[in-house]
Amino acid sequence: MISTISVKDLHVSYFGKEAINGINLSIEPGNLVGIIGPNGAGKSTLLKAMLNLVPIDKGEIDIFGRTIIETRKNIAYVPQRSQIDWDFPIHVLDTVLIGTYPNLRIFNRPKKKDKEWAYECLKQVGMENFYNRQIGELSGGQQQRVFLARALAQKADVFFLDEPFVGIDITSEETIINLLKVLRDKGKSVIVVHHDLSKAKDYFDKLVLLNKELIHFGNVDEVLRPDVMIKAYERELSFLEEIGVKA
Residues lying near ligand ADP in the complex (CB under 6 A) are found at 14, 19, 37, 39-45
Q: Which stretch binds Mg ion (CB under 5 A): 5-13, 37-45, 171-179, 229-237?
A: 37-45
| φ, ψ dihedrals at 244, nearest 5° | 85, 15
* 14 or 88: CB nearest ligand ADP: 14
**Least distance between ligand ADP and beta carbon 82 (Å):** 11
Answer with the entry of Mg ion, ligand ADP, none that 79 interacts with (C-beta below 5 to 8 A by kind): none
* 41 or 148: CB nearest ligand ADP: 41
Answer with the entry of Mg ion, ligand ADP, none that 71 interacts with (C-beta below 5 to 8 A by kind): none
Answer with the entry of ligand ADP, Mg ion, none that 36 interacts with (C-beta below 5 to 8 A by kind): none
* 3 or 13: CB nearest ligand ADP: 13
Answer with the entry of Mg ion, ligand ADP, none that 45 interacts with (C-beta below 5 to 8 A by kind): ligand ADP
* 44 or 189: CB nearest Mg ion: 44
Residue at 195: amino acid letter: H
* 4 or 44: CB nearest Mg ion: 44
The region, left, alpha or beta by phi > 0 then psi within -120 to 50, assigned to residue 104 is left
Residue 44 as a binder of Mg ion (CB under 5 A): the answer is yes
**Chain residues that interact with Mg ion, rule: CB under 5 A:** 43-44
